[in-house]
Structure 1
Amino acid sequence: MRVQRRRVPQRWSWTDLRLVPPALGLWATTLLVPWLPPLGAAALAVLCAAVGWGLTRGRPGTVLRVVVAVLAGVSVAAAAGAVRSAERGGSPLVELADRGSTVTVVMTVDEDPRVLPGGLGPARVLVAGTVTALEGADVRGVPVLLFGPAEEWAGSLPGTTVTVRATVRPAERGDDVVAVLSARGPPTTVQGAGAAQEVAGDLRAGLVASAQRVLPDDPAGLLPGLVVGDTSAMQPGVTADFRRAGLGHLTAVSGANVAIVLALLLWPLRRRAVDRRWQALAGLVGLVGFVLLARPSPSVVRAAAMGAVTLLALASGRSRVAVPALAASVCVLLLVDPALAADGGFALSVAATAGIVLLAPGWSRSWRRSGLPGPLADALAVSAAAGLVTAPLVAGLSGLVSVVSLPANLLAAPAVAPATVLGLLAVLAGPVSPGLTDALVWTAGWPTRWLVLVADRAAAVPDGAGGWPAGAWGALLLAGALLVGSAVLVRWPRARPVALAAAVGVLVVGWPARQATDGWPAADTVVVACDVGQGDALVLPVGGGAGVLVDAGPDPELVDGCLRRLGIERLPLVLLSHLDADHVTGLSGALEGRQVGQVATGVLAPTEDRLPAVAAVVSAAGADFVVLAAGAVATVGSATVEVLAPDPAAARPGVDANALSMVARVTQRGVRVLLTGDLGADAEGGLLAAGVDLTAEVLKVPHHGSGDADPDFLAATGARVALVSVGADNTYGHPAARLLDWLAHDGVQVHRTDLEGDVAVVGETGDWGVLARGVDDVQRAVAGPPSRPEVVGPGQRSHRGRRRCVTRWPGAAVRLPATPAVPPAAGRRRGGAAARAGRVGGAGRGPPARPRRRGARAGRGRAGPG
């Protein structure tokens, strides 16, 4: 007898959204309040409270209830902001900051000191802290930021209380801190961080040390960031690859880590059918421990808060409680830490959690009914829901849309959990057995290697990422496009084949056509001003894959990307105009993996303390480091280099490095290019007075277009084209309007890297022009703050994990009336993005016929100092 089971209809459920409006109102107001005076914020709180109370009289409908809820959130946020603003405005630190006073403060360290990127001098750190006492005044807990030498602040764990002598400066308007401090001496520890933080610090340090011992540099830097949020050893190229591939959330602790930790803790309890409330309690204990281990930084706190939402849903046994819990946690976090309101990561965490809670379960059930295996359906649903909901935010925050993000995340997903779990086990095994720790780290290294490989290959896909309008309008634009597209595909099924055909057409026809018409580099290139942000890097291709590099910009990834796009594999000669960070920080990226001959500077002041660091970089590349004085001449392939200044007599102790910038004239195929470093008006006038011949067809404008210039110097060059190497939206006002007016008065055509991207002068004497590659939106979108270059000694591994073998390039015949200096080091990664044909202008004709495209990857990085 067959018994037919009757399918029970699924019980209707609803989503509780009642706390969402006040959470959104509170969030928006928290963003606004820092720009209001305390009285204005208090008035807003009172006004919203009064209007809300008036609307509640009688029997308000649904719309009015939503309005009242929003007004309640606004009122609470405005009142809290008014109190905070009043307290901070009355702090004695504000008055001291206005006077620029130097005082002794007692400060509690809130986060791990963060090493500031850029420069080859002594490292400095940024420390977030709370001032609890002040010399000669009473203060309550006042949030500040402090700058200090990295060596002095190493080992200052969160929770440590120190006294330090510091100069107080005003914070910028809208900042969540009261003042900015500059340390004037080393800190003195008053009270340690506590046993819990010290144990957590030892565990983190053990994982980092083990990873450095047993793994190549790329996965060795990624694993601690993935497991405990320690990104101190992350390689800049790896970070750029993960951003470009849409995997940036894996480079530090995120909600995925919390989910894995909770799953690891709860799995054995679920297997034994332990009561869900005990499961939630065990998960909460594990969550607290994980926050201590990974440090209570904003990213960890927000990830833990989202994990707490999941635990609350588990404890209550009702999944629909997740949305109100999420909204409530948002309110609590914003009231406790208002800085989260402007934190893009916080917004992404909230959006991803909401997408997973609201969309993923239904999608997973639908795909299971379609025949997909359960684990695959769950993974697809979670990745798709989180990716779809966060895509507009990612586009608005980064100005980037990555079409490879979803497949890259799906390929990476199977490796995240094993790497995290094995890494956590290695952390716990550290105090017990270093051998076991190394074994676990070595095992965790394999899924970590897979993550690095996926990011590397996804980032290498030409046009895998595209530029997008940044900001709120960009986010709204993409959100609208996704909503309209989804509605059309759901409402009209017949449109789906058309959409599929269009996508296939773009992929099969449009993409190859775009690659075939790339058009960079141009034939007969004389010089290229690379778009490296606020810094200088110019390349003179001399044939056969060789080139002369003049300065290396503020970031290794960016200069490496420019060299790769030009097909430069050998650097017979590198000229460093001077040793400022925005000219030399990228040197390691230019040298590593290329055959290098000589790296030269002009004469330097005896007090130049950055020389040893630069020398170490050059030495690690296997190159010779020399000093070229005025009168030196070098012939490299088709280029002739004449050093015009500075004179050795000018290299006095304490002289400004800009005034000692190397001035050189390079002639290639009859076109002369005058290279001027960061000269100022006084130095320029000195060259004119000395009668130095400055004539050239192309002028590299001094100091990124600074207004500190001599108009007679500019006119004396007789240049027809001026190249300005300058960062977009820089804070220095470069290029200055009066300098541009002077150049225009002299009939000089100006080309700027901030507006045109890489700019090339092409052709030969009497028949030459200018070609602009165009701004690489993707390169700028993935750019981060320039990082300190690593130093890799001879025979050691570079951060690519390969043995380096540098061959001397003997092609340069150099006559040197100068003495060799100390020898110099390296470290670099790849570059990247398809070149775009630029527009042509300048003197003479346009560019010659466009040759084949070389290279497929671009670098990374953002502006350094001016």
Structure 2
Amino acid sequence: MSASDLREAPTEESPSEEPLDIRLLAPAAAGWLTAILLLTQRPLTGVITALTALLIAAALLLTLRRAHAQTTKPSTASHPANAAAGAPTTRSVASAALVTGVGVAAVVAGMAFGAAMEVQGLRSGPVPELASSQAAVTVRLKVEGDPALRTSPGNRRPPYVVVRATVEEVTGRGKTTRVRSPVLVIGSAQWQRVRFGQHVQASGRLGPVEPGSDLAAILSARATPRVLGEPAWWLRAAERVRLGLREAVANEPEAVRGLVPALVMGDESALPAELADDFKITGLTHLSAVSGTNLTLLLAFVLPLARLLGVRARGLTVVGLAMVVVFVVLARPQPSVLRAAVMGLVALAAMTSGGGRRRAVRTLSVAVIALLLLDMSLARSAGFALSVLATAGIVLLGPGWRDALAGWMPLRLAEAISCPLAAQLACTPVVAWLSGQVSLVAVAANLLAGPAVGPATIVGFGAAGIALLSEDLARLAGWVAGWPARWIIFVAQRGADLPGAASAWPATVIGVGVLTLICLALVVGLHRLLARPIAMVLAVILVAVVVLRPVGSFGWPPGDWLLVACDVGQGDGLVLRVGGAAAVVVDTGPDPAAMDRCLRELDVTSVPVLLLTHFHADHAGASPVF
């Protein structure tokens, strides 16, 4: 495609662009909101909501049927020509509105029934009842996740393990019952040996969970679990492949050993905590977690290769579906993996098909509705929200912004900029709500790291498969995959070290609401900015200045400050200046992040003396000795 073709191609503002089809978008959004609101309510609330929505759907269907019957009658208008010209358009608009209304009511009814069943399943039965009285029980569990080792602040308590599981049989109060209730297990370090898909027996004490949780209870295990059954053969095979990849990069530096398995199949077990923090600051977390990016890159490599080998038409579909199955098996069929697989397919289909935004919106809407009906707990999942918003940003905003940039820069570069920019802007309010900060380097970091993600992922995936045949060849492939991974690590570390890499933002309803309005304003006006190279250069320079020389709060801190009481939440944290960039700290509050932020704002780089008045969490929780 030539530059002139790109300039003549329709953009978001072009009248030739097809209008946005909301016939499925509106039901998907309404159903998602319904699930969010009703998952914290009583089951009866969901049933009443569902019945009301069904009545509304029936009324709208009756209205639509009568309107359709009237359109078949001959017109009696005084000006038949005008009636013929104007009436069909009005009727079609009314019919489309009625069809959308029926869809909204039907999806809301389905989500309401699903939410009622979800809440009923979590709040009823022997497991929640036993948890309410903190009863001692013996349970048969199926492990549903990877065990994660945790440590208490200051290592005052022994390390412990948390892992999700499903209770299949519970014995408590002298009664044994077969159930299916999700729980979170908290156990000793021996629980680190359990594997995804295993059946184990354990004893401990059940405890209640917070309202709105997707768990039925918390199990505090007292003893080492006893294995009753091994995972299914295909899970054992997947674990062998995952182990082969870990061994293929075993000789690489620590950060590379952790990142390559995370890139390929979302295995974050060896990812260093410092690198994970750098990824959060630079907006690269999606690379180290199971996301649609992993699957999209894999399909983008495999499908063209299959086409070169002569595979056509339905054969390509079979190859694509086979790779989806392989990806889900290797990453393990957990809700987050299934969500990532669906969103990856949506993004790939939208970017490679000729259906435009209309087809992309329909596909994304169907995916949201189907995923929520299959697993209602996704409605309140931050990962699900980020996946949907990122995909929506890419398929709705990305093409128009790409065309605007392609008017004055190469198409490949325009695509590389528009995709992370659209995804980041769509996800910014949710990220700010979760982390209390906004990354100012996320787009640049994704742009710089992007070229290395594909080679590291594809070669790493190949190393995992080669490990089944030859350990030496697998190590060679792991060494090759480690070089692009090194570049990604370099970008994350250097980006996180920039003075203004992330800006604090209040994680409150008002704060996130204001940020959402800012993002919407950018969505409306950014297209014009991207189409003007001079404006873009000025915007990039402004962001670079803010990142390299961040401006603190106006008038803060005063140049002659002596004593500052830091805002550390519930607790105390005092900073006494002793000269230059050094200060004495009296108490730290409970949160290290809050105290670190205060010290950065005060330009304190040295703390020669730390005084703790007493060892309560609100005064010493953030200190390394607590």
- Alignment-mate amino acid for residue 256 of structure 1: T
Mapped contact 1:533–1:726 kept (Cα < 8 A)? no
Mapped contact 1:214–1:441 kept (Cα < 8 A)? no
In 2 relative to 1, CA 507–9 (structure 1 residues): closer, same or farther, beyond 3 Å? closer
Matched, 1:361 2:366: no
Q: What does the per-residue CA deviation read over 1:69-118, in whole Å, with 9 as the maximum and x for residues that have no partner?
A: 22212111111222233344430112211221111111111111222343
Q: Deviation of residue 387 (structure 1)?
A: 2.4
In 2 relative to 1, CA 117–89 (structure 1 residues): closer, same or farther, beyond 3 Å? same
Mapped contact 2:590–2:621 kept (Cα < 8 A)? no
Q: Distance in 1 between matches of 2:421 and 2:61?
A: 41
- Equivalent positions of 1:50-449 (< 5 A) are 50-59=55-64, 61=94, 62-119=96-153, 120=155, 121-135=157-171, 136-151=175-190, 153-211=191-249, 213-272=250-309, 274-309=311-346, 318=355, 320-368=358-406, 370=407, 372-449=409-486
- Which runs of 5 or more residues in structure 2 are unaligned? 11-15, 68-93
Q: Distance in 1 between matches of 2:239 and 2:569?
A: 36
- Equivalent positions of 1:656-667 (< 5 A) are none
In 2 relative to 1, CA 538–508 (structure 1 residues): closer, same or farther, beyond 3 Å? closer
In 2 relative to 1, CA 446–493 (structure 1 residues): closer, same or farther, beyond 3 Å? closer
> What's the secondary structure of 1:159's corresponding residue?
coil
In 2 relative to 1, CA 493–96 (structure 1 residues): closer, same or farther, beyond 3 Å? closer
Q: Deviation of residue 348 (structure 1)?
A: 1.4
> What's the secondary structure of 1:100's corresponding residue?
coil
- Alignment-mate amino acid for residue 126 of structure 1: V
* Corresponding residue of 2:44: 39
Q: Distance in 2 between matches of 1:546 and 1:489?
A: 43
Q: Distance in 1 between matches of 2:351 and 2:535?
A: 43
Mapped contact 1:231–1:251 kept (Cα < 8 A)? yes
Matched, 1:459 2:396: no
In 2 relative to 1, CA 168–24 (structure 1 residues): closer, same or farther, beyond 3 Å? same
Q: Distance in 1 between matches of 2:528 and 2:353?
A: 37
Identity of aligned residues (%): 39
Mapped contact 1:541–1:568 kept (Cα < 8 A)? no
> What's the secondary structure of 2:115's corresponding residue?
helix
Mapped contact 1:48–1:75 kept (Cα < 8 A)? yes
* Corresponding residue of 1:833: none
Q: Distance in 1 between matches of 2:21 and 2:349?
A: 15
Mapped contact 2:405–2:414 kept (Cα < 8 A)? yes
In 2 relative to 1, CA 417–537 (structure 1 residues): closer, same or farther, beyond 3 Å? farther
In 2 relative to 1, CA 337–677 (structure 1 residues): closer, same or farther, beyond 3 Å? same
Q: Deviation of residue 301 (structure 1)?
A: 2.0
Q: Deviation of residue 502 (structure 1)?
A: 8.2
- Alignment-mate amino acid for residue 568 of structure 1: S
Q: Deviation of residue 509 (structure 1)?
A: 9.4
Q: Deviation of residue 188 (structure 1)?
A: 1.3
2:487 equivalent among 437, 445, 450: 450
Mapped contact 1:468–1:474 kept (Cα < 8 A)? yes
Q: Distance in 2 between matches of 1:279 and 1:25?
A: 35
Q: Distance in 2 between matches of 1:122 and 1:388?
A: 42
Mapped contact 2:146–2:195 kept (Cα < 8 A)? yes
Q: Distance in 2 between matches of 1:361 and 1:139?
A: 52
In 2 relative to 1, CA 559–433 (structure 1 residues): closer, same or farther, beyond 3 Å? farther
- Alignment-mate amino acid for residue 187 of structure 1: P
Q: Deviation of residue 16 (structure 1)?
A: 4.2
Q: Deviation of residue 513 (structure 1)?
A: 8.5
Q: CA RMSD in A?
A: 4.1
Q: What does the per-residue CA deviation read over 1:776-817, in whole Å, with 9 as the maximum and x for residues that have no partner?
A: xxxxxxxxxx9xx9xxxxxxxxxxxxxxxxxxxxxxxxxxxx
* Corresponding residue of 1:644: none
- Alignment-mate amino acid for residue 29 of structure 2: L
Q: Deviation of residue 48 (structure 1)?
A: 1.2
> What's the secondary structure of 1:139's corresponding residue?
strand
In 2 relative to 1, CA 316–466 (structure 1 residues): closer, same or farther, beyond 3 Å? closer
Q: Deviation of residue 192 (structure 1)?
A: 0.8
Q: Distance in 2 between matches of 1:46 and 1:519?
A: 56
- Alignment-mate amino acid for residue 419 of structure 1: A
In 2 relative to 1, CA 159–536 (structure 1 residues): closer, same or farther, beyond 3 Å? farther
Q: What does the per-residue CA deviation read over 1:228-260, in whole Å, with 9 as the maximum and x for residues that have no partner?
A: 212222222222222112222222222211111
Q: Deviation of residue 268 (structure 1)?
A: 0.9
* Corresponding residue of 1:839: none
- Equivalent positions of 1:522-671 (< 5 A) are 566-568=604-606
Q: Distance in 1 between matches of 2:442 and 2:235?
A: 36
> What's the secondary structure of 1:296's corresponding residue?
coil
Q: Distance in 1 between matches of 2:552 and 2:506?
A: 23
Mapped contact 1:531–1:725 kept (Cα < 8 A)? no
- Which runs of 5 or more residues in structure 1 are unaligned? 576-672, 679-702, 706-723, 728-785, 790-863
Q: Distance in 2 between matches of 1:512 and 1:314?
A: 37
Q: What does the per-residue CA deviation read over 1:98-150, in whole Å, with 9 as the maximum and x for residues that have no partner?
A: 22111111111111122234342432122211111122233331111111113
Q: Deviation of residue 356 (structure 1)?
A: 1.9
In 2 relative to 1, CA 507–147 (structure 1 residues): closer, same or farther, beyond 3 Å? closer
Mapped contact 2:256–2:486 kept (Cα < 8 A)? yes
Q: Distance in 1 between matches of 2:103 and 2:383?
A: 26
Q: Choose 1 or 2 for highest CA Rg.
A: 1
Q: Distance in 1 between matches of 2:274 and 2:150?
A: 17
Q: What does the per-residue CA deviation read over 1:497-546, in whole Å, with 9 as the maximum and x for residues that have no partner?
A: 78976885786699758489998798897x98887888999888888999
Q: Deviation of residue 193 (structure 1)?
A: 0.9
Q: Distance in 1 between matches of 2:207 and 2:245?
A: 38
Q: Distance in 2 between matches of 1:13 and 1:516?
A: 45
* Corresponding residue of 2:31: 26
- Alignment-mate amino acid for residue 47 of structure 1: T
Mapped contact 1:535–1:726 kept (Cα < 8 A)? no
Mapped contact 2:500–2:549 kept (Cα < 8 A)? no
Q: Deviation of residue 479 (structure 1)?
A: 3.5
Which range moves more in the overlay, 12-21 or 131-140? 12-21
Aligned residues: 579
Mapped contact 2:500–2:546 kept (Cα < 8 A)? no
Mapped contact 2:142–2:200 kept (Cα < 8 A)? yes
* Corresponding residue of 2:614: 677
- Structure-2-length-normalised TM-score: 0.80
Q: Distance in 1 between matches of 2:530 and 2:182?
A: 56
Q: Distance in 2 between matches of 1:567 and 1:315?
A: 50
In 2 relative to 1, CA 544–463 (structure 1 residues): closer, same or farther, beyond 3 Å? closer
- Alignment-mate amino acid for residue 186 of structure 1: T
Mapped contact 1:530–1:725 kept (Cα < 8 A)? no
- Alignment-mate amino acid for residue 122 of structure 1: P
Q: Distance in 2 between matches of 1:512 and 1:268?
A: 46
> What's the secondary structure of 1:361's corresponding residue?
helix
- Alignment-mate amino acid for residue 23 of structure 2: R
Mapped contact 1:529–1:539 kept (Cα < 8 A)? yes
> What's the secondary structure of 1:137's corresponding residue?
strand
> Which is richer in helix?
2
In 2 relative to 1, CA 278–505 (structure 1 residues): closer, same or farther, beyond 3 Å? closer
